[in-house]
Amino acid sequence: MSVTAPAPRVAGAPSGGEDALAALTALLRPDLEACNRLIVERMQSPVALIPQVAAHIVAAGGKRLRPLLTLAASRLCGYPGTEAGGTRHVALAACVEFIHTATLLHDDVVDESALRRGRASANALFGNKPSVLVGDFLFARAFQLMTDDGSLEVLSILARASATIAEGEVLQLVTANDTATTEAQYLEVIDGKTAALFAAATRVGAVLAERPAAEAEALDRYGRSLGVAFQLVDDALDYSAVEAELGKTVGDDFREGKITLPVLLAFERGDESERGFWRRTLEAQEQREGDLGQAIALMQRHGALADTVRRARHYGDEALEALRAFPDAPMRRAMADIVEFCIARAR
């Protein structure tokens, strides 16, 4: 297994972090506020437990990155904002957030997670059954928003992404605890469970604005590459971040036996004794006090965390390259800055 060499940086690539997210949010504030209102409205149900569970996970925070990307891509392609009477991008951004939130509810049940962004997870508070069923409700709400939009192309993009996300989650379940997992399989997992929704979120922007297929493809490449970079950084952070920064306990992936790129690199580069450690802790799930610290030390010894972030930078540069299909403008620059925001989390 080898780490792809980082691509050359795009000239004038941004260097901002959290400021980039704030800048994009400011550019899209009326649209995002309309999206948030719609999310709250569509979470409602006469079955009281549904809005309770949904509101808990929505209130848990998150940066609304995926719906922001839908709003940004739409505006980049010339679709009018809410102040000019545009509404379809707002509804589809809410749809994207419902798909994402539904997967979070289901993931926390599958992973038996007690925390979500530093707070008690919905399944820890309400139980597994309500979490799964409310996740189903949010998926249904998402599909209502898709069909309300009326575009078969939009429906196809988002429905296909929903199916791909489910496939990615099942593939992750299949490869869990298996140190024989290949890098290609790992990339297939993260392309499915993370990058597919990023790609769909951005691609629909070009469709709404009735832009040429080449622009839709460029936004798909931007979103997909950004999604892979985002997940690679997340996987590195699980072995290197403090809980307050990451929003979950460090080492969750290790305890759950997830096979991520830092594990694969450390496993390949280690000697037979070190590989035995990974087989014991991840395959056999025989974990002892101090094993997480040893896992982190092995990753640092073999440069696994640094190389994972380098790979994220490579995909980030691919995302920046895709944006070159569009003329220079404040929205394009803001979307470029978001690439740096996603990668800078690893600092």
Residue pLDDT, tens place only, 34-59: 999 999 999 999 999 999 998 888 77
Instruction: Give the integer Cα–Cα distance in Å for 95 and 332.
Output: 23
Contacts of 288 (CB under 8 A, 6+ apart): none
d(CA 298, CA 338): 31
Residue 193 lies in a domain: yes
The pLDDT value recorded for residue 23 is: 94
- Let me know if 203 is exposed, middle or buried by CB neighbors in 10 A (0-12, 13-18, 19+): buried
Does residue 2 belong to any structural domain of this protein?
no
233 inside domain: yes
Q: Distance (Å, rounded) from C-alpha 120 to C-alpha 257?
A: 21
Chain-centroid distance of CA 147 in Å reads: 24
pLDDT of residue 252: 87
Q: What is the mean pLDDT of residues 288-298?
A: 96
CATH of the domain at 204: 1.10.600.10
79 domain residue, yes or no:
yes
Cβ neighbours of 273 (radius 10 Å): 7
14 has pLDDT over 60: no
Residue 251 in any domain: the answer is yes
Percent of the chain beyond pLDDT 90? 78
Angle formed at CA 36 by CA 34 and CA 39, multiple of 5 degrees: 110
Q: What's the CA angle centered on 60, arms 59 and 63, to 5 degrees? A: 90
Residue 54 lies inside a defined structural domain of this protein: yes
Q: Residue with structure tokens 């809980």?
A: 243
Q: Is a pLDDT exceeding 90 seen at residue 309?
A: yes
Q: How many Å is the Cα radius of gyration of the chain? A: 20
User: Is residue 43 situated within a structural domain?
Assistant: yes
d(Cα 98, Cα 91) in Å, to the nearest integer? Answer: 11
Domain assignment present for residue 28? The answer is: yes
Q: What angle do CA 43, 209, 326 make, to 5 degrees?
A: 115
Check: CB of residue 52 under 8 Å from CB of residue 46.
no
265's CB contacts (< 8 A; 6+ apart) are 1, 3, 299, 302, 303, 304, 307, 308
Q: How confident is the model at residue 315 (pLDDT cuts 50, 70, 90)?
A: very high
d(CA 148, CA 279): 49
Higher pLDDT, 2 or 337: 337
Grade residue 268 by pLDDT with cuts at 50, 70 and 90: very high
> Tens digits of per-residue pLDDT, 234-258?
999 999 865 545 555 688 899 989 9
Residue 64 pLDDT greater than 80, yes or no: yes
Average pLDDT over residues 326-332: 97
Residue 215, pLDDT above cutoff 50: yes
Distance of CA 340 to the CA centre of its chain: 15
Lowest mean pLDDT across 59-63, 198-202, 217-221 = 59-63
Residue 180 in 3-state DSSP? Answer: coil
DSSP 85-110: T--HHHHHHHHHHHHHHHHHHHHHHH
Work out the number of other CB atoms within 10 angstroms of the CB of residue 188: 16
pLDDT at residue 296, as a whole number: 96
Mean of pLDDT values over 59-77: 90
Range of the domain at 112: 18-340
- What confidence tens digit (pLDDT) does each residue in 83-130 have? 888 899 999 999 999 999 999 999 888 877 776 666 778 888 888 999
Least confident among 10-14, 61-65, 167-171, 279-283: 10-14
Instruction: Name the residue with higher pLDDT: 296 or 241.
Output: 296
What percentage of residues in the chain have a pLDDT greater than 70? Answer: 90
Taking all residues of the chain, what is their mean pLDDT, rounded to a whole number? Answer: 90
Q: How many domains does the chain have?
A: 1
CB distance 187 to 314 below 8 Å: no
DSSP class of residue 47?
S
| 119: enclosing H helix or E strand | strand 119-120
**pTM of the predicted structure, to 2 decimals:** 0.91
